[in-house]
Structure 1
Amino acid sequence: MAKNKPAFSEQSLYQWATATSIERGYDYYERGAVQSLVRRGNELCAQVWGTDVEPYRVRVVLDAHGIPSHATCTCPYDWGGWCKHIVATLLTYLHEPEKVEVRPPLEEMVKDLSDNEMRELLSYLVSRAPATLDLIDAWFAIHDSEEQQASPTSAPWPPHPEPYERRARAILHSLDHMLSSEAYWHVSEVFEELEDMAQQAKTFLNQGDQNRALSVLIGVTNAYVSDAFYLDDSDGIVSDFAYQLGELWASLLVRMDLDDEARKGLQALFEEWEQDLVVYGLEDVWESAEYTVSIQSEEDILESDDPVLILAYLEHLEQVGDDEAYLRFALEASEYGHYVVKLIHLGRLEEAKAFLDTHQLTTGEKESVVYALYEEGHVEEAFTLAEDLMSAQDASFTWFSWLADRAETAGRKELALRAVEQAFRRSPSLTSYYRARDLAGADWPRVREELLAFLRTEREAGIDVFIAEELWDDVLRALEEGYVDYSTLRRVVDALIPHRPEAAARIAQEQAERIMDAGLSKAYPQAVEWLQRMRQVYHLMGRDSEWQAYLESLIQKHRRKYTLRPLLEELR
């Protein structure tokens, strides 16, 4: 059983997942799809049954405060935010802590093993999962390389990318054993792993190891340029990674101290990679990085007017702890948000407030200032600035969700309610609607009408609220005016059956006939599900004879569809 109460709420889920993923995650949670929920230290792992024959594996990393900071799932979802399986896992963690099995983290499990026991463990792992041996090979190759580069400033050029390149190639070829139709669904996972590997360069640079950072980036880029485009790029995942790499190169090079030999070597590499990517129309991805190689001073960075380089240089100044240089450069670059946030973290609150009074910040910058004020314990100042942002049209959903949680905790219910209302208008959900109800108290009738009036301009987003309020005319108009996915439509029809049976029957009939008339044989079971709903409605209305007549007409109409006909006959 979990020892600690989760440090986040249902509302927090909307920071990480779309409303659709959260709705579907609720479905999975309610039907008990989450299995084997285990917490090890700051990691939460689960198996979640989905549409595959094997359960999907979910991994959530919690930060020091117990709030999710990173999450992955083995499902093929890649349409923005976290998937429904991750949502279902977090809902189970929130509402059924007794299902969480707490186990010791790996470090604790192996700390007392002898050398022989460790060898036995590794042998066992390789025997059960032979691919583990490739990972061990890669680890030793990288470890040996790291020992050779123990003095990061002794040999700035050339670096040693070979072990990292081998590991990157192994990642890119990890789907080779699959059919192309199966591999398509896992391409995003490959590039998530490759991105994690590329980000190691940033870790090494933060540790002052410039040579190893270059080794990682060159190794990953070499492997990407030569091997990545064998993978399916139908969704643009493969080509998009080139731009991520280009941005990472630029952001790290601006922080490096390169000698002439390193500059020439890197320039040659960029020219070579540029030629390799011309055929894919990606020759421009290295422009910022190539410019960065030639940078000699802060003035060059400012003249570039490139936000990637400017923010990377600010990060460098933060890393080396040069606060005054940070403040000066932030001012020169007109990065006022970073300037004010830095003043706040340095304890120079009055300077920060004076600057805010005389300079114009963007909404996003003001959001960052509110975060910083709250983090440093200036709660009232944070809420005062937040009040000024309540009417900002471009204020973010994530920020309003964060503000609602903090304001409610501080007993500022009026501010919390306004923040929830604004979050609702940016991403409507039944959870936010009920939270607004709880915060509004006696003022709920007014707030309710305002939220419903808003939903009637965004009908598709309000279907769940309309169902909960039994506003069936609004439900039907929402269906008429916008597209809804299959899962939502099925849920809507089930809700309509006892209240608007004729409408439910009509929708079910339309869906079934659309599938059958198009001859979509793989979807015939879905057509039968719709017909079962239609039969249920006709029975409730006492019109069984009409249903039978309609069914016989279908059997006659589709008598030559030998896959469909037996399914229809079973409905008699």
Structure 2
Amino acid sequence: MVDPDPTLTEAAVRDLARPQSYDRGGNYYAEGAVVNLVRRGETIRAAVEGSQYEPYRVRIDLDETGVVDTACSCPYDHGGICKHRVAVLLTYVRDSDGIDQRPPISELIADAEPEILRDVLTSLIESRPELASQIESELETAESEDETEDGEHGRTPDINRESIRKQVQYVLGPTKGRSAHAYDPYEAAETDVEKLRGLLDQARTAVETGDGETALDILEPLANELMDEEWLALSYDDSNALFNFFDEVDRVLAEALLTADLSEAERTDWKDRLWTWEQEMGGHTHHPPYSVALEAAQRGWDFEPVQRAMQGDIGYADLWGGDPPWYAEDLIRARLNVLKRQGRNEEYLDLAEAADLIDDYVTKLVEDGRIDEAIEYGRHNLSSPNEALTLAQTLRNHDRPQAALEVAQHGLTLDGSEKAELAEWLRDRAASLDEPEVALEAAIAAFEASPTLAAYQAAEELAGEEWMTIREELLTSLRNKDTTQRVARRHVEIFLYAEQYEAAIDIADRFSDYKVVEPVVEEVWEEHPDWTIDACKEHAKPIIEEGQSQRYRHAVQWLETAGKAARAVGELDEWCVYVEDLRDEHYRKYKLRPMLEELLEGFTE
């Protein structure tokens, strides 16, 4: 069972975000912007008050290793988690006593009386009428599943396409009752995705039960209404969530078409419809959604190269009759998903091997109980740490923990950019299995692959009496690495934690970015006061001289740190004269002058 209280550290949170997002998230936390923070089981939900009329909604999913997934209603998509998610995680780490701990909804309703549940559901629909069609469709799907389990293998009752169409139109329609200045179209579109996901999930459920026809009945009105010009143009402007939603619809459509038993006329209708949608999407992106579904409709299962591959002709392995298109892997995975549901295991394995999808191939072997065969195949064919991680995780999930460790150890000998993730996984799993030597080797590998403070601290925890020797090895390795702007902050954090102040100062001198210099001056002002004073003046001066009024507070903070360093080295009088000269020189800057006077008072009282 998952640990209900996984341990998170601020260093781990920092690793999830870009430095700027972490800093801004810290400001949001300090300002008390995180509200309504509730944890139910393994999920944290909260609202973060930001620049929009309504707070942003944040979800954090946890397991025994910490954060496994996050989501936010903001449109951020620039690498790492957004500032709102950072703020929620910092609140979780720093103010855990203030979290509203509640049981999961599944536990709440487990023992509830049916009449009470009916009353609650009825009341919810009355307050949220847009849910009525969704609930109606889901109940129809559930009834169909019950019939199938009872041996009645008929199709799901006819889906009311017009009802679905109206539901989608309602969701995509203009928001009523909200002033124009408070309406954020991007946030509204992100909200639309969450509302429409229920319909997509219904279609996915139908596909997973082998009912491709019902899935198509749901997907046709959904996809057709999504082609609304205003919403479509907005989605491809800068919202990654909407872009991904289109791709999800495309993939589910492909699987539905490969599952459904369609007449030639029906298949032709879908080809024409998908071609039109793909052409329209092509005006917004070079990789238009509906390409996967269109290929599935055009080639189906009768395409000769696919037939030959599924019959074990691995040597032929030309699945496209030429160069594969950009969506090749998506279509192959759609075929594999259908074959898996239909129990066509050998065809699945032959196609996965022909397509060189090693992850899928070895995972299926394990699922079929052919574990030794999967391990042996992996030893000879794994080509990247990521493939090794997939096999190791699969073996662990199938109660073969020692084999999982062996595969993961082998994966660390392979080249690839994903080595840090594999090493971290092996480190944590080996530690939980009381394999300290393996865990320590993996911890060192994780640090070597991606030096972070969290990785350094994990190695420290595992090293025990060997720490002083390993510590020097890690720090020497870090000194020899090429520190770039992207990783400078992370390297500085490690050197500061290890009290290697000269190394941290060297990086700060090479990168003038305040995000790199700030943690250094805050840590070394007593040991290196002269350097601190010069660095702080260098960052405060341009803010003041260029009249960056919105950043005056930052300039004063730099000067305050310089003041502490000046006092430590006995140069407080010189510092006071410097600040007084700044005040007098820039006396016309009415926002700045009282800040500087307040700063001086704090040091002269």
> TM-score range with shorter-chain normalisation?
0.7 to 0.9
The answer (yes or no) to whether the contact 1:58–1:74 under 8 Å persists in 2 is yes
Residues 213 and 411 of structure 1, relative CA distance in 2, 3 Å threshold: same
Q: 1:249 to 1:140 in 2, by over 3 A?
A: closer
Q: Find out whether 1:288 has 2:292 as its counterpart.
A: yes
The Cα of 1:70 is off from its aligned counterpart by 4.0
The equivalent residue for 1:333 is 355
User: CA–CA distance in 2 between the matches of 1:544 and 1:8?
Assistant: 43
Q: Relative to 1, partners in 2 of residues 1:470 and 1:212: Cα closer, same or farther, differing over 3 Å?
A: same
Q: Pick the aligned partner of 1:262 from 266, 277, 290.
A: 266
Contact 1:19 1:429 in 2 (8 A): no
Match of residue 213, structure 1, among 193, 206, 215: 215
Question: What residue number does 2:5 align with?
Answer: 6
Whether the aligned pair in 2 keeps the contact of 1:515 and 1:524 (CA below 8 Å) is yes
Q: Which residue of the partner structure matches residue 550 of structure 1?
A: 578
What is the correspondence of 1:121-136 to structure 2 with a 5 Å cutoff? 122=123, 133=128, 135-136=130-131
Determine which of 505, 524, 528 is the counterpart of 1:496: 524
Q: Which has the higher contact order (CA 8 A, sep 6+)?
A: 1
Cα distance in 1 for partners of 2:161, 2:54 equals 46
1:463 correspondence with 2:496: no
Q: Deviations over 1:58-115 (max 9, x none)?
A: 433457x897654334566443344465466567767987655443444665634857
Give the aligned partner of residue 166 of structure 1. Answer: 169
1:518 correspondence with 2:521: no
| Alpha-carbon distance change, 526 to 52 in structure 1, aligned in 2, over 3 angstroms | farther
Matched residue SS, 1:280: coil
> Is it true that 1:505 corresponds to 2:528 in the alignment?
no
Amino acid aligned to 2:165: E
Distance 1:52 1:202 in 2: 34
Contact 1:159 1:215 in 2 (8 A): no
- CA distance in 2 between counterparts of 1:155 and 1:365 reads 42
- Give how far 1:387 is off: 2.5
Instruction: Please tell me the residue identity of whatever aligns with 2:207.
Output: L
- Deviation of 1:433 after TM superposition, in Å, equals 0.8
Distance 2:586 2:355 in 1: 70
Structure 1 residue 558 displacement after superposition: 2.8
Residue 308 of structure 1 aligns with an amino acid whose one-letter code is D
Distance 1:349 1:60, change over 3 A: same
Task: Report the counterpart of residue 271 of structure 1 in structure 2.
Answer: 275
- Match of residue 435 from structure 1: 458
Structure 1 residues 94 and 279: CA distance shift in structure 2, 3 A: closer
Deviates more, 1:512-521 or 1:272-281: 272-281
The residue matched to 1:59 in structure 2 has which SS? Answer: strand
The counterpart of 2:238, out of the listed 226, 235, 238, is 235
Deviation, 1:162, is: 0.5
Residue 468 of structure 2 corresponds to residue 445 of structure 1: yes
Structure 2 residues without counterparts, runs of 5 or longer: 146-153, 310-318, 601-605
Whether the aligned pair in 2 keeps the contact of 1:45 and 1:57 (CA below 8 Å) is yes
Evaluate the alpha carbon distance shift between residue 102 and residue 537 of structure 1 in structure 2; reply closer, same or farther with a 3 A threshold: closer
Please state if 1:370 is matched with 2:370.
no
Task: State the SS of the aligned residue for 2:238.
Answer: coil
Cα distance change, pair 451–148 in 1 and its aligned pair in 2 (3 A): closer
Question: Which secondary structure does the structure 1 equivalent of 2:265 belong to?
Answer: helix
Q: Does 1:344 align with 2:381?
A: no
Equivalent in the alignment of 1:129: none
Query: Quick one: distance in 2 between partners of 1:484 and 1:215?
Result: 55
Question: Does residue 418 in structure 1 map to residue 441 in structure 2?
Answer: yes
Distance 1:119 1:251, change over 3 A: closer
* 1:524-543 alignment runs, 5 A limit: 524-543=552-571
Rounded to whole Å, the distance in 2 between the matches of 1:503 and 1:175 is 57
Distance 1:95 1:563 in 2: 33
Would you say 1:307 and 2:311 are equivalent positions? no
Deviation at 1:154, TM superposition (A): 7.4
Q: Distance in 2 between matches of 1:204 and 1:334?
A: 29
Contact 2:423/2:446 (<8 A) preserved: yes
Q: How big is the shift at 1:400? A: 1.7
Counterpart Cα distance in 2 of 1:31 and 1:273? 47
1:472 Cα deviation after fit: 1.8
Q: 1:377 to 1:21 in 2, by over 3 A?
A: farther
Write out per-residue CA displacement over residues 247-306 of structure 1, whole angstroms, 9 at most, x where no aligned residue. Answer: 554455344433323322222322332443454355844333222111232645462352
Q: 1:481–1:53: structure 2 CA closer, same or farther, 3 Å change rule?
A: farther
TM-score, length-scaled by structure 2: 0.76
* Pairing of 1:12-91 with structure 2 (within 5 A): 17-18=16-17, 20=19, 37-46=37-46, 57-61=57-61, 70-74=69-73, 77-83=76-82, 86=85
Cα distance in 1 between the residues matched to 2:433 and 2:157: 54
Which amino acid letter does the alignment assign opposite residue 119 of structure 2?
A: M
Output the amino acid matched with 2:553.
P
Question: Superposition RMSD on alpha carbons, in Å?
Answer: 4.5
Aligned partners of 2:49 and 2:55 also within 8 Å: yes
Q: 1:297 to 1:233 in 2, by over 3 A?
A: closer
Does structure 1 retain, via aligned residues, the 8 Å contact 2:171–2:196? yes
Give the direction of change, closer, same or farther, for the CA distance of 1:58–1:564 in structure 2 (3 Å limit).
Answer: same
- 1:181-200 maps to which residues of 2 (within 5 A)? 191=193, 198-200=200-202
Q: Residue 506 of structure 2 aligns to a residue in which SS?
A: helix
**Aligned match of 1:317:** 339
1:316: how far off? 1.6
Q: Do the aligned partners of residues 294 and 32 (structure 1) sit closer, same or farther apart at CA in structure 2, a change above 3 Å counting? A: same
Q: Quick one: which amino acid aligns to residue 430 of structure 1?
A: L
Whole-angstrom distance in 2 between the partners of 1:44 and 1:339? 35
Alignment CA distance shift 1:13-1:548 (3 Å): closer
Shift of 1:167: 5.0
TM-score (norm 1): 0.80
Cα separation, 2, equivalents of 1:515 and 1:225: 48
Secondary structure of the 2:128 match is helix
Deviation of the 1:502 alpha carbon? 2.3
The separation in 2 between residues aligned to 1:158 and 1:58, in whole angstroms, is: 33
Task: From the superposition, tell whether residues 432 and 32 of structure 1 become closer, same or farther in structure 2 (CA, over 3 Å).
Answer: farther
Q: 1:473 is matched with which residue?
A: 502
Structure 1 374/358 Cα, relative in aligned 2: closer, same or farther at 3 Å?
Answer: same
Deviation, 1:313, is 1.4
Counterparts of 1:29 and 1:437 in 2: how far apart (Å)? Answer: 31
Provide the C-alpha distance between the structure 1 equivalents of 2:498 and 2:51, rounded to a whole number of angstroms: 31
Per-residue deviation, 1:352: 3.0
Task: Give, as a single letter, the amino acid of the residue that structure 2 aligns with 1:286.
Answer: Y
The answer to whether the 8 Å contact 2:274/2:290 transfers is yes
Deviations 1:118-164 (A, max 9, x none): 379838x97xxxxx535335546756986999964676998974045
Structure 2 Cα separation of the partners of residues 41 and 552 of structure 1: 56
Deviation digits for residues 437-457 of structure 1 (CA, Å, limit 9, x no counterpart): 222223323322222123222
How big is the shift at 1:436? 0.5
| Deviates further, 8-17 or 488-497 | 8-17
Q: Quote the Cα distance in structure 2 between the aligned partners of 1:107 and 1:182.
A: 33
2:566 counterpart SS class: helix
